[in-house]
Structure 1
């Protein structure tokens, strides 16, 4: 990760990330722990895409899915019992959402390339609703 990528990650962390995590926790109704492997997300020569890619690939699908899951008290309770932590990374080079999500011991892991299929937000969101709901 070069200087451009480091600056873009810091800008994202300072201006976008905290607000997104806050929104996620507000929707959930409790604090979900996040572990973002920033060094794996910061692909060289793509710093101009960080804000759009990180938001669309990782955070908007979670926000959309949690809104759907928590639309009633049953969903809110199930989520609270099921999800404690979210890990975000790009280690396996996954470009399709069907293979990007895994779940174990109350931890959702998202391992997806940050700039591939960025605009498939609704597909990722819908898949994540079904995926998480099947674990509840």
Structure 2
């Protein structure tokens, strides 16, 4: 019985250590300030472009805390950090899908929400199709921030293909 209790305790501690390793620390004050600056100075325009491309005011949920790379707050405002990784490709993909009335109608009927996030365990560095899912009306984008920022077209194509496959 003591051996079973010890095994259970060891497994529990191992599980807790694995869980704590995957839980990201809350952003620092400098990071929260940089996020707020990005939201007001850059993201507001990006959101407008995304909604214009979709043809309707699609809700976009950005999990800002997950997009933070510790110590990189000075780079958040660079196009290469978030804009060219998430928002420009998203707008391009939506515009490509909504190129005609059929695409516009399909988006308006099926796209209910967009979620932008970064999960270090599952986000691809370059196999962008692996970072996009469209299920039950929710488009989920999971790319690595500040990685391959020139791959705007490849990311847009992955998003477009995920949408078109299920619209």
Q: Structure 1 stretches (4+) deviating beyond 3 angstroms?
A: none
How has the CA–CA distance of structure 1 residues 48 and 119 changed in structure 2, closer, same or farther, with 3 Å as cutoff?
farther
Deviations 1:71-103 (A, max 9, x none): 111110111112111111112441231211112
Consecutive unaligned residues of structure 2, counting only runs of 5 or more, are 1-26
Larger mean Cα displacement after TM superposition, 121-130 or 44-53: 44-53
Indicate the residue corresponding to 1:128 in structure 2.
Answer: 159
Distance in 2, Cα, partners of 1:123 & 1:112: 12
Residue 57 of structure 1 pairs with residue 85 of structure 2: yes
Distance in 2, Cα, partners of 1:109 & 1:48: 26
Larger mean Cα displacement after TM superposition, 87-96 or 7-16: 87-96
CA shift, 1:59, in A, is 0.5
Distance in 1, Cα, partners of 2:61 & 2:146: 19
Distance in 1, Cα, partners of 2:71 & 2:115: 24
Alignment check: 8 A CA contact 2:129 2:159 kept = no
| Aligned partner of residue 43 in structure 2, secondary structure | helix
CA shift, 1:50, in A, is 1.5
Scaled by the length of structure 1, the TM-score of the pair is 0.93
Out of 19, 37, 40, the position equivalent to 2:45 is 19
Deviations 1:34-62 (A, max 9, x none): 11111111111112322222111110111
Distance in 2, Cα, partners of 1:133 & 1:82: 11
Over the aligned positions, Cα root-mean-square deviation in angstroms equals: 1.3
Residue 98 of structure 1 pairs with residue 129 of structure 2: yes
Distance in 1, Cα, partners of 2:142 & 2:54: 21
Consecutive unaligned residues of structure 1, counting only runs of 5 or more, are none
Indicate the residue corresponding to 2:141 in structure 1.
Answer: 110
Relative contact order higher in (CA < 8 Å, ≥ 6 apart)? 1
